[in-house]
Amino acid sequence: MRDYQQFYINGEWVDPLVPNTLDVINPATEQVCAQISLGSEGDVDRAVTAARAAFETYGRSTREERIQLLESCVETYQKYYNDIADAVREEMGAPKSLAMSAQAHAGLGHLKEALRVLREFPFEENLGEHRVFKEPIGVCGLITPWNWPLNQIGCKVAPALAVGCTMILKPSEVAPLSGYLFAKVMHEAGVPAGVFNLINGDGPGVGTALSSHPGIDMVSFTGSTRAGSLVAQNAAPTVKRVTQELGGKSPNIILDDADLEKAVTQGVLHMYNNTGQSCNAPSRMLVPAARLAEAEQIAAKVTASVVIGDPADEATTMGPVVSAVQFDKIQGLIQQGIDEGAKLVVGGPGRPEGLEHGYFVRPTIFSEVNNQMTIAREEIFGPVLVMIPYDTEEEAIRIANDTPYGLAGYVQSGDIEHARRVASRIRAGNVHINGASGGYNVPFGGFKQSGNGREWGPHGFTDFLEIKAVEGFGT
């Protein structure tokens, strides 16, 4: 069992001021796999003091110094790569293949991308005799979720380091193991004391203290829309910048000229990726009403190919959901879909056959869903897909946009110009045509209640920068 009860503050591993131990549960076994400490307001104060002191020098570091530091971070992360992948598999049940190829890779990918952007990023701009400077915003509170832990840590820490900010990271207490290893990477890479700090804890104990602390200049939060709203409220009295990447209920419009077999297969498999625990999952599949029955048959066939089981098994393609809380929530929503009259195509309540332990959910597809049903409105965050029939393209676009969210959208068509026209009308921060996915250089973020600001690549630097105009600077 892992013992991760210390915090990383001011370049040292330190004990919490108030002992408060939390068991970390392996969702595949329901057994304790680690223990961490939950931090307090006093721990946050210590970390903020260290980060503010470090900013006095790191905030004035040169581009060349930060390039060297990020190069060291990339090299050190690669040494820990396998350990990080194992930690993700253990803490959140990601299948081994997914943990290696995507979960652990995301942290490395964002470090490499930040390094690439940093080499060329324009921190100064001349406007005639005046000059505009882009300067680090200061001390940042970074609050990250459990579903893609390294992705969200990497896409916040890497640009913050690149532009000269100092930071306090609070990973999710549900899946904190990979974040702990990330702190070891930062230490061994030679990140100066106080520049990067890590405190484990829950939202009320550490998240609230970070978002409301007067010594924090900005908060970057990823999580639920409900929690994001609380972060913004806590931050408001000190008028700090708050950027948020929140929930989603993303539409996947299959147009009438799409290859139905290919489009449905792609959409179903994408939905089951990471056990449906992705904020941009294509959870609402919009299908031409005349072809709904055919789409149901394809979706059921694809679902039958999913291999559910031990995340350590090479053959497993879908693991458990992350916790008992999530399991119970998903079970309740599946039952609500049945109660509200949706057609159950495959799956349903309970665990998959042969799995008596672990938070395993049956991959589930509902059809004949209308957009007012609970399962079409709420973010389920599990392997549950709803199929919504439509009669006209205008109706499909209206249904797609009829949601408080706007993180992602998907359009499937055999005609690229047709797909582009429809994509242009989707109110979402990321729209994918025919299954295309963006790289680490493409901005990621949402419209409406899916958040504000953008992460990843050059656009990800912007949230961590202040703009200073110096008039009369000279040319």
Can you give the three-state secondary structure of the chain, one letter per residue?
Answer: CEEECCEEECCEEECCCCCCEEEEEECCCCEEEEEEECCCHHHHHHHHHHHHHHHHHHCCCCHHHHHHHHHHHHHHHHHHHHHHHHHHHHHHCCCHHHHHHHHHHHHHHHHHHHHHHHHHCCCEEEECCEEEEEEECCEEEEECCCCCHHHHHHHHHHHHHHHCCEEEEECCCCCCHHHHHHHHHHHHCCCCCCCEEECCCCHHHHHHHHHHCCCCCEEEEECCHHHHHHHHHHHHHHCCEEEEECCCCCEEEECCCCCHHHHHHHHHHHHHHHHHCCCCCCCEEEEEHHHHHHHHHHHHHHHHCCCECCCCCCCCCECCCCCHHHHHHHHHHHHHHHHCCCEEEECCCCCCCCCCCCCCCCCEEEECCCCCCHHHHCCCCCCEEEEEEECCHHHHHHHHHCCCCCCEEEEECCCHHHHHHHHCCCCCCEEEECCCCCCCCCCECCCHHHEECCECHHHHHHCCEEEEEECCCCC
User: Judging by beta carbons within 10 Å of its beta carbon (0-12, 13-18, 19+), is residue 469 exposed, middle or buried?
Assistant: exposed
Q: How far is CA 443 from CA 142, 228, 437, 438, 459, in A?
A: 18, 20, 12, 8, 6
CA angle 304, 309, 314 (to 5 degrees): 95
Contact at 8 Å (CB) between 251 and 386? no
Contact at 8 Å (CB) between 311 and 95? yes
Contact at 8 Å (CB) between 104 and 81? yes
Measured between alpha carbons, how far is 181 from 187 in angstroms, rounded to an integer? 10
Read off the tokens for 200: 């484990």
Read off the tokens for 73: 């971070």
Which residues does the annotation mark as catalytic?
A: 245, 279
Read off the tokens for 11: 């370049």
